[in-house]
């Protein structure tokens, strides 16, 4: 494997900073390249629990359990994972659990893989269908502010919030392996 040390883009660093300063203590995730920095940072942070999931719906229940126990938690996933969560989202509405998820988008911009299209194009409507407020970020300079706004809405007003990180923000996936 050709692995060179890369410095994470500023916007990815901003996400971890907002979560950390916002008092998040548990970060659950199904990995995606756009979340790489937050995942690495959580793993390296002794005051943060990082929880790798087998499927995203586990994360919906996990962050609710964390809130029962008095902690703030966030769920990181890719747009395909939103579809895996749909029935589990009913837990959030039935109990009005605060909820913050960051979703890296696929299937919407310069996509190479057509299999990402069906879920990616319906990610926002699936979230909204289940009563989750959707905020979207497309410009790197907006990431910190919008993630912070979502975090406040979740943990101060008890809302269920998904922040979609546009595929144009994340950049084109490189398909050639050297």
Partner 1 sequence: MSTSVKIAVDRRTFVAKLLQATPDALVITGLGSPSYDVFAAGDRARNFYLWGAMGGSTSMGLGLALAQPSKSVVVITGDGEQLMGIGSLATIGVKQPANLTIVVLDNGHFGETGMQRSHSSLGTNLVAVAKGFGIADAFVVNQFEGFSDVARRVNARQGLAFAQVLISSDEPARVLPPRDGVYVKNRFRAELGFLPF
> How many chain residues bind partner 1 (CB under 8 A)?
36
Shortest distance, position 113 Cβ to partner 1, whole Å:
24
Stretches 16-24, 47-55, 121-129, 139-147: which one binds partner 1 (CB under 8 A)? Answer: 47-55
Shortest distance, position 67 Cβ to partner 1, whole Å:
8
Shortest distance, position 111 Cβ to partner 1, whole Å:
27
Quote the CA–CA distance of 131 and 113 in Å, as a whole number: 29
73 binds partner 1 (CB under 8 A): yes
User: Do 147 and 14 contact (CB within 8 A), yes or no?
Assistant: yes
Q: Based on CB atoms, which residue is closest to partner 1, 95 or 172?
A: 95
Those residues whose C-beta lies under 8 Å from the C-beta of residue 85, and which sit 6 or more positions away, are: 56, 57, 59, 60, 77
Shortest distance, position 147 Cβ to partner 1, whole Å:
20
Strands (E), the chain: 24-29, 49-52, 72-78, 99-104, 133-137, 160-165
User: Do 161 and 99 contact (CB within 8 A), yes or no?
Assistant: yes
78 binds partner 1 (CB under 8 A): no
Q: Which of 55, 113, 125, 168 is in the footprint of partner 1 by CB under 8 A?
A: 55
Q: Which of 36, 62, 86, 135 is in the footprint of partner 1 by CB under 8 A?
A: 62
Quote the CA–CA distance of 61 and 3 in Å, as a whole number: 35
User: Do 8 and 32 contact (CB within 8 A), yes or no?
Assistant: no
160 binds partner 1 (CB under 8 A): no
Structure-token match 């719906």, residue found = 57
Torsion of CA 121, 122, 128, 130, to 10 degrees: -150
Stretches 93-101, 106-114, 133-141, 142-150: which one binds partner 1 (CB under 8 A)? Answer: 93-101
Q: Which residues bind partner 1 (CB under 8 A)?
A: 25-26, 28, 49, 51-55, 57-71, 73, 87-88, 90-91, 94-97, 156-158
């Amino acid at each position: 494997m050709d692995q060179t040390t890369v410095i994470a883009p500023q916007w990815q660093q901003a996400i971890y900073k907002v979560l950390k300063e916002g008092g998040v203590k548990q970060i659950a995730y199904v990995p995606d390249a756009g979340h790489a920095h937050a995942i690495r940072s959580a793993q390296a942070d002794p005051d943060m629990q990082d929880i790798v999931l087998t499927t995203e719906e586990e994360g919906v229940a996990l962050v609710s359990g964390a809130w029962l126990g008095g902690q703030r938690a966030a769920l990181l996933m890719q747009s395909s994972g939103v579809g895996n969560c749909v029935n589990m989202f009913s837990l959030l509405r039935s109990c009005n659990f605060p909820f913050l998820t960051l979703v890296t988008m696929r299937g919407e911009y310069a996509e190479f893989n057509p299999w990402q299209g069906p879920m990616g194009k319906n990610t926002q409507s699936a979230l909204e269908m289940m009563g989750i407020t959707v905020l979207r970020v497309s410009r790197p300079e907006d990431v910190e502010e919008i993630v912070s706004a979502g975090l406040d809405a979740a943990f101060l007003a008890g809302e269920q919030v998904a922040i979609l990180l546009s595929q144009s923000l994340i950049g084109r996936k490189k398909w050639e392996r050297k």
